[in-house]
């Protein structure tokens, strides 16, 4: 029992000795057993109510209607149970939390279903070794899976991406360094142009390389032209993401390096860039993911070939997105299965490039290399040599 005692002009609640003490919560983000029971019971009741309404009462049979009613009933019942236990703040917290979790589950389900369906449709061609070791020379769209493969498209994709990365990686990071470390009015103009090019349609990039590199300069369609078109698509992505990463680097690191006697560009090379290594790898991954799935620039600048071409300057060169596009348009069942199998290979390729980039960008130490070399030399204003430190 709780009593109230007046102390001066205020009233202070006093708990009796036989009153049950309040159960402390383990952490702010962890629910108590009672709260977990209420949460699970709420959604279990919403499941049963949605089943009765869609399958027994209303003529709305089917999984989509059931999921819609289930989520709506769960939100309503979560709000009601929260209102029975607390204030309006807890009601809004419970409902908004359910909406956020529901959105995450919806996105995850869409992603898993898409990847699962691609693997399911392309599983039969993936079980044949010739699919990885041969090209489509002399193979028709309705031939069996024992003939042909995606070797030519896989090699073409890797070569075109390598050309695009070799061009866009230094240019993109250099542009980000200019916008972040140099600054000025022109840097503002460059940032505006980069942000505008981020939404550039892929067909425009293909037309630009086609009109300049192929029509104006007279070069033939080739993997080199396709790599340039992919580079136009990847450059603003890498530059914009790298700019955001470099702006996050703490200014104290730059100031410490400059205070130790390093120049501005030495600070950028040895302090800023190593600190942002993992973020720059993420920028590169975003660019590769954008370029790896483009079809229209490659279609305009390279064209499709059914045979293996290893020289990017020697005529047309196929790629995995273009291989998928041509096989889906054929309308043949076997060709569509090959397209799904090629899409699976493309997913695995992007995942492998992602892992390689993350491994290369893994931090090698806690301190930037320049600071770790300069700090011992400037202790108490003295300069020490490697022999003195040993």
Cα dist. 356→22, 229, 285, 347, 360 in Å?
Answer: 52, 24, 10, 14, 6
The β-bridge partners of 14 are 3
Q: Are 269 and 257 in contact (CB under 8 A)?
A: no
Locate the DSSP E strands across the chain: 2-7, 10-15
Query: Is 0.85 topped by the overall pTM?
Result: no
Query: What digits encode the pLDDT tens for the residues 9-50?
Result: 555 555 555 544 444 544 455 667 777 787 788 888 888 888
Per-residue exposure over 287-301, b if at least 16 CB sit within 10 Å of its own CB, e if not: bbebbbbbbbbbbbb
Q: Which two tokens stand for residue 320?
A: 């995995």
Which pLDDT band holds residue 7 (cuts at 50, 70, 90)? low
Q: What are phi and psi of 12, to 5 degrees?
A: -115, 125
CATH number for the domain whose boundaries are 151-376: 1.10.3720.10
pLDDT, residue 264, reads 84
Query: What digits encode the pLDDT tens for the residues 232-259?
Result: 999 999 999 999 999 888 888 888 888 8
Query: What digits encode the pLDDT tens for the residues 37-90?
Result: 877 888 888 888 888 888 878 877 778 888 888 888 888 888 888 888 777 777
pLDDT, residue 29, reads 57
Q: Are 235 and 168 in contact (CB under 8 A)?
A: yes
Per the listing, tokens 């140099």 go with 182
Contacts of 362 (CB under 8 A, 6+ apart): 278
Q: Are 390 and 376 in contact (CB under 8 A)?
A: no
Taking the CA atoms of 315, 318, 321 and 324 in sequence, report the sign of the dihedral they define: positive
d(CA 233, CA 29): 42
d(CA 297, CA 204): 8
- Nearest Cα to 176, choosing from 158, 191, 198? 191
d(CA 223, CA 76): 57
d(CA 156, CA 223): 7
User: Range with the lowest mean pLDDT among 27-31, 81-85, 102-106, 316-320?
Assistant: 27-31
- What number of other Cβ atoms are within 10 A of residue 219's Cβ? 16
Three-class SS of residue 379? helix
Q: Are 214 and 229 in contact (CB under 8 A)?
A: no
User: What is the gyration radius of the CA atoms in the chain, in angstroms?
Assistant: 30
d(CA 137, CA 148): 7
Residues of the chain with CATH 1.10.3720.10: 151-376
d(CA 347, CA 351): 6
């Amino acid at each position: 029992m709780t009593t109230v005692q007046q102390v001066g002009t205020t009233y202070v609640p006093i708990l009796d000795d036989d009153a049950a003490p309040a159960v402390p919560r383990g952490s702010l983000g962890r629910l108590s057993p009672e709260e977990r029971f209420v949460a699970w019971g709420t959604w279990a009741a919403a499941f049963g109510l949605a089943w009765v309404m869609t399958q027994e009462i209303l003529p709305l049979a089917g999984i989509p209607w059931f999921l819609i009613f289930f989520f709506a009933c769960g939100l309503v019942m979560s709000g009601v149970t929260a209102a029975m236990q607390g204030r309006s703040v807890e009601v809004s917290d419970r409902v908004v939390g359910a909406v956020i979790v529901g959105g995450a589950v919806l996105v995850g389900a869409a992603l898993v279903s898409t990847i699962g369906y691609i693997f399911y449709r392309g599983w039969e061609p993936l079980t044949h070794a010739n699919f990885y070791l041969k090209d489509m020379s002399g193979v028709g769209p309705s031939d069996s899976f024992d003939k042909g493969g995606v070797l030519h498209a896989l090699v073409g994709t890797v070569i075109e991406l390598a050309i695009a990365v070799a061009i866009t990686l230094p240019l993109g990071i250099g542009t980000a360094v200019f916008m972040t470390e140099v600054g000025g009015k022109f840097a503002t103009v460059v940032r505006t142009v980069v942000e505008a090019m981020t939404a550039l349609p892929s067909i425009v990039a293909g037309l630009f390389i086609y009109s300049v590199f192929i029509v104006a300069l007279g070069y033939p369609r080739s993997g080199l032209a396709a790599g340039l078109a992919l580079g136009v698509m990847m450059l603003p992505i890498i530059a914009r993401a790298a700019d955001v990463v470099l702006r996050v680097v703490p200014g104290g690191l730059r100031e410490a390096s400059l205070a130790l006697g390093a120049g501005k560009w030495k600070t950028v090379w040895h302090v800023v860039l190593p600190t942002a290594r993992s973020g720059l790898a993420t920028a590169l991954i975003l660019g590769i993911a954008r370029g790896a799935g483009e079809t229209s620039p490659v279609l305009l600048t390279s064209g499709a070939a059914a045979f293996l071409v290893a020289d990017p300057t020697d005529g047309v060169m196929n790629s995995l997105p273009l291989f998928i596009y041509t096989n889906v348009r054929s309308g043949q069942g076997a060709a569509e299965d090959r397209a799904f199998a090629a899409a699976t290979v493309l997913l695995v390729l992007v995942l492998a490039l992602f892992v390689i980039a993350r491994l290369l960008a893994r931090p090698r130490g806690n301190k930037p290399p320049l600071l770790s070399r300069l700090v011992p030399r400037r202790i108490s204003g003295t300069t020490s040599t490697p022999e003195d430190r040993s």
